[in-house]
Structure 1
């Protein structure tokens, strides 16, 4: 008898092996388009951070925050789902469910994503320090901007290996007939 964890793991493996809308991610160009859509969604989240930081507290900033967040999520969730299926769960599944090639691809994607995320963190740190120095001792980050920044950093960190894996995934070999 299997436990609920084992049952959940097996379900995830089966879901990642199904072909949902295969025409949408069958070629390298289409997978790169989906990866670009995820990057667009992340860019909208980062724009939300800038709007929150610059415009808080105002009703206009709140409306634009909500609009950017909603638009970002409408793009983000379907694109991430398609990338997960296109990459056959390289980033999503546990190592015991992957072969050696998939494990190697995951390690390369995570290494690249780590470097990119480190650059993003350095840029955020430098921006925060520069704003703190130019605005004076009483300057503090607005709460809305802090929430938006935490969300943007978290989702960027979470999904960047998947985007890199989807971007790098080659087309399957053609049939030799």
Structure 2
């Protein structure tokens, strides 16, 4: 951590992000990647429902109800990923040590590259669709741009959760049978 004093908020967030009571949810790489995949799927589902709500002619309210229901597991998955990364993206810079600060920079760089590729793919898709149809699909431009903005917002979380490493083994815990030899 830096020499800057931590505020009460920083200390409480540091305690929250380092709380290991729910460590079983993200103890292995497979579980962390499952949480990231579930979060991405829920984000896609909520975005699709939002798009349907705004583009539907009758504007039915069922997509809003389903979005509200999906928001709870989305928030749980966000919390699991944040806990797995020990708050890498949620903590202020002054609450991170040098290793975490460097990891945050790597995560942000990776997610920036992924988002840039996604933006390029969306732009090419809109241009090709507009060229084939003879007119740009204006109705889908705004929802696509909003979707890319949301992905840009959560991509660092996905990258951090996907690349998070396992917790190191405790040094104080002895292997079974090793205590007999000491």
Whether TM-score is above 0.5 comes out as: yes
Between the aligned partners of 1:22 and 1:45, the Cα distance in structure 2 is 27
Query: What number of residue pairs does the alignment pair up?
Result: 167
Kept in 1, the 8 Å contact 2:26–2:84? The answer is yes
Aligned to 2:25: 24
Kept in 2, the 8 Å contact 1:46–1:149? The answer is no
Aligned to 2:152: 157
Give the structure with the larger helix fraction: 1
Offset at residue 115 of structure 1 (A)? 1.1
Aligned CA-pair RMSD: 3.1
SS of residue in 1 equivalent to 2:169 = coil
More contact order relative to length (CA 8 Å, sep ≥ 6): 1
Cα deviation, 1:135-160, whole Å, max 9, x if unaligned, reads 445x56238x72x4354223311221
Q: Determine if the alignment matches structure 1 residue 118 to structure 2 residue 116.
A: yes
Q: Determine if the alignment matches structure 1 residue 58 to structure 2 residue 53.
A: no
Aligned to 1:129: 127
Between the aligned partners of 2:90 and 2:150, the Cα distance in structure 1 is 14
Aligned to 1:109: 107
Q: Determine if the alignment matches structure 1 residue 83 to structure 2 residue 81.
A: yes
Q: 1:57 to 1:31 in 2, by over 3 A?
A: closer
Between the aligned partners of 2:78 and 2:113, the Cα distance in structure 1 is 21
SS of residue in 2 equivalent to 1:32 = helix
Cα deviation, 1:51-82, whole Å, max 9, x if unaligned, reads 649x93423x7567546644652432110111
Between the aligned partners of 1:48 and 1:87, the Cα distance in structure 2 is 29
Q: Gaps (5+ residues) in structure 1?
A: none
Q: Gaps (5+ residues) in structure 2?
A: 1-5, 175-182
Offset at residue 113 of structure 1 (A)? 0.7
